[in-house]
A and B are shown apart, each in its own frame.
Chain A
């Protein structure tokens, strides 16, 4: 280990700067997107000069009546002059009131500078307005509650099964069966598989003309293929997503559990054996308590990832009958569909807050449990 004043910071600066740029900056942008609306309005002036007091504001595209016009000479930077028009216009503002005032030719569209009686507002200053409009749109969207409940349901079904399976895998690997390094590789394969691919794989099994139906029809169990994936069979669709996610994402839990197991000194298990603990007792009284830190990390990781389940849902169900939070984020963002990044940003923020809250809850729960045991007697 070295001690030096500046070197480590110097080495870290590029990464930290990059992360700040790509994490913090977008976060502030997301906040802005979610809670504000940008509108452009044209401020009308009492006199035909930029600096004059405003008499009102008109929204973009408002049709106005031209009451008066004035030609001025505008001074250019090079000292020369050119003619510039100002118009006294009248129109209805957002609140429905009739306002009138002067606007420069740059801010309005007018067919004929000298003769036209009407014009349209085309320019103005951007103003940012804080609003809960996007939040409301998310909350009142009929898909919102079903997206939440599906996401949570998937989480509740997937995570416990993953942990049981991962612990079994880890114990099998730990028992040094012949070829355990090969088994480790096989169990780790899904680490490199995307949720899109996993979705297509399990779609191939459960689709109407898929492998499961092929097997059942060939075996004579059923005459006609059973349609698992259709609107009436929501529970089947959920089950297939659950299977696909257990299949795909157990590996990461397995790796964490295995390395946790490897960190447990063999002595502990042997002491357990010598002092009369059966295999089950050793698992319950020695292995699981010592694995707790690893399991906690895996749990937080898996929970956060569970809120991002996306492509697997689309690949299996198409994403319309059954929807999840990330899918809704995309639906609102997608220029081909709702094209509303603001509501998408609200969804994104919602996902972040919920996953953060659950992680904090886990950590708090585990810590208070530790403290309770440490101070109990």
Chain B
């Protein structure tokens, strides 16, 4: 996006303050910098002419404020509530990502992000190697926390780690453990995503097995790169484009009827963002458009196959003890929360009940969780505590970030609470 295009999008913001009423972060920070209006004003000032023409005009902040503005822009969960609630339909997310890209270009990306987005995430092989090393280190250095959703490891409460927990890395990822010849050819393509492949392969496997059980012929995109969302959100368009180019080419080559995503954030990348990354006139655009139109969420796919009607009834659990958590991207940006609820109603019957605070953001926010774990943790703990107090003992959702966050919260504060992916629930009920 050019500076002029960015300015044009910013001009739509009337600074009315509506974003203050819905911002996930505002109750934590309680200042203007945390909300969209403040962040947009900061980007605007970094683009402004060096001297205002008359009193009251946009005040320029010199380059010496660039680093402070970059930090202010990074302090956001990209949950999208401000944009959906904006009376002027300001393209907040595009403006923020545009601002982040601009500053990342000027100030450079941090070394670890350059490596992560540029080298590791686009390469399936590199991710596998890191997983193996990580799994080894976990066992060596961290303390075990058994939970209802699997073994977690706890970091010590020092040096910014704050006692966070991470799931135990399994000996092998989902794709790596597929038997040779399995899932090579099929009309429907499963885009499993990094987290459900490597960190929680059980979810990747559950998605694959339930899709197969629906009667479809299912192939797994074995050579997938990261969806590119983490890079894009950090303002690294190049890194994001590297992943996107690879994925679009390999998906298009297979000409699937549809591409199914167990993770709502990966899906959002494909449905909403890929086209904005590829320049006009690039031959890749036509392929990206073709692919984007075939991408669907897991719940929509399963509902359409009619599998829900062929499942075993759910074993007797307490009425209303199963709840649904709305991932911001899946339910908010893409509006698929209703479909997921439909599926849960079909498979869980009256065990499913609308959860207290179902649509509250879990506070994960991708790199936000790394950047400010205490705040991310407070938002997540609040979410889980609301759900538990409301009588929910199993939280079901469909986003890798949300599951990482909610399982961490459960491991820390409420080890009896189960956090499940929709596909895990469905697999348990396969006949």
- Are A and B interaction partners? no
